[in-house]
């Protein structure tokens, strides 16, 4: 499905975003464009997510900034995750936020992924990807419903296929008390990855068609300019 897999050690989040390849976020924007939806980025929500991940994945380097953010809440949520024995073990063994790029073989589109956590088995035969989500869901059942609503299936399939992973785990933590921590094993849910794969494949094909049409439209203009 993908080839030319390349890792980018020590790449920052900003450097990751600057790479030219297509990300899962880019696919969300493309989907919104196709459906005629207006996406307005929420800088406060984005800051919350960014700093929550920093506090959870790399607490030694985490620090508050001057940004407007619910600092006390995100720090509490990060502590909730790190208190869980299962999460604590994954965080101890995993590699946080390692960017990879690859080429989607069917369309030739370059993609980039940056899993929250990447955990390899001692023998290197098993690769587990973990994604941490904060959620407003009141219970586990509602949290599961959001996994399709927010296209987590597409993200899980894309990341799993690009990296050849054997497991993809989504760990959700409630924003409101009692701040429960929930585990959803995406790769074990019937049809979940397959559905996500159909989603990202359709969007990558649409992206490839757009790129081809743009190149064809640009060629006559370049010829006239010459």
- Reading the chain (226 residues) residue by residue, the pLDDT tens digits are 999 999 999 999 999 999 999 999 999 999 999 999 877 778 888 899 999 999 999 999 899 999 999 999 999 999 999 999 999 999 999 999 999 999 999 999 999 999 999 999 888 789 999 999 999 999 999 999 999 999 999 999 999 999 999 999 999 999 999 999 999 999 999 999 999 999 999 999 999 999 887 667 666 555 455 5
Judge contact between 117 and 163, C-beta under 8 A.
no
CA atoms of 149 and 141, how far apart (whole Å):
13
Q: Give every CB contact of residue 169 below 8 A, 6+ residues apart in sequence.
A: 90, 128, 129, 130, 131, 183, 184, 185, 186
For residue 194, give the 3-state DSSP assignment.
helix
For residue 102, give the 3-state DSSP assignment.
strand
Q: What is the CATH number of domain 2-7+20-220?
A: 3.90.320.10
- The two three-digit tokens of residue 108, written as one number: 């030739």
Q: Give every CB contact of residue 115 below 8 A, 6+ residues apart in sequence.
A: 97, 98, 129, 130, 131, 159, 163
Instruction: Give the CA distances from residue 107 to residues 110, 134, 199, 202, 204, in Å, rounded to whole numbers and listed in that order.
Output: 9, 33, 14, 10, 7
Longest CA pairwise span in the chain (Å):
66
Judge contact between 132 and 175, C-beta under 8 A.
no
What pLDDT shows up at residue 219?
Answer: 60
What pLDDT shows up at residue 221?
Answer: 56
What pLDDT shows up at residue 123?
Answer: 80
What pLDDT shows up at residue 215?
Answer: 67
- The two three-digit tokens of residue 190, written as one number: 């019937």
CA atoms of 176 and 180, how far apart (whole Å):
9
What pLDDT shows up at residue 177?
Answer: 95
- The two three-digit tokens of residue 107, written as one number: 């369309």
Judge contact between 200 and 27, C-beta under 8 A.
yes
Q: Specify the pTM.
A: 0.92
Of 172, 138, 155, whose CA–CA distance to 52 is shortest? 172
Residue 182 phi, psi (nearest 5): -120, 145
- The two three-digit tokens of residue 131, written as one number: 């994604």
């Amino acid at each position: 499905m993908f080839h030319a897999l390349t890792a980018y050690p020590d790449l920052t989040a900003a450097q990751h975003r600057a790479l030219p390849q297509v990300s899962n976020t880019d696919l969300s924007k493309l989907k919104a464009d196709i459906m005629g939806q207006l996406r307005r980025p929420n800088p406060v929500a984005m800051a919350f997510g960014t700093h929550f991940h920093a506090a959870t994945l790399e607490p030694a380097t985490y620090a508050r900034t001057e940004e407007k953010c619910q600092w006390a809440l995100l720090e509490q949520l990060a502590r909730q995750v790190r208190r869980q024995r299962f999460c604590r073990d994954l965080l101890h063994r995993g590699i946080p936020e390692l960017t990879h790029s690859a080429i989607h073989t069917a369309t030739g589109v370059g993609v980039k992924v940056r899993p929250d956590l990447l955990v390899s088995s001692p023998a290197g035969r098993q690769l587990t990807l973990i994604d941490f989500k904060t959620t407003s869901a009141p219970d586990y059942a509602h949290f599961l419903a959001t996994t399709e609503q927010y296209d987590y299936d597409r993200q899980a399939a894309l990341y799993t296929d690009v990296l050849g992973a054997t497991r993809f785990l989504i760990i959700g933590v409630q924003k409101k008390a009692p701040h429960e921590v929930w585990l959803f094993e995406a790769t074990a849910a019937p049809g979940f990855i397959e559905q996500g794969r159909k989603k990202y494949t359709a969007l990558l094909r649409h992206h490839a068609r757009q790129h081809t049409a743009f190149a064809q439209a640009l060629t006559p203009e370049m010829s006239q300019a010459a």
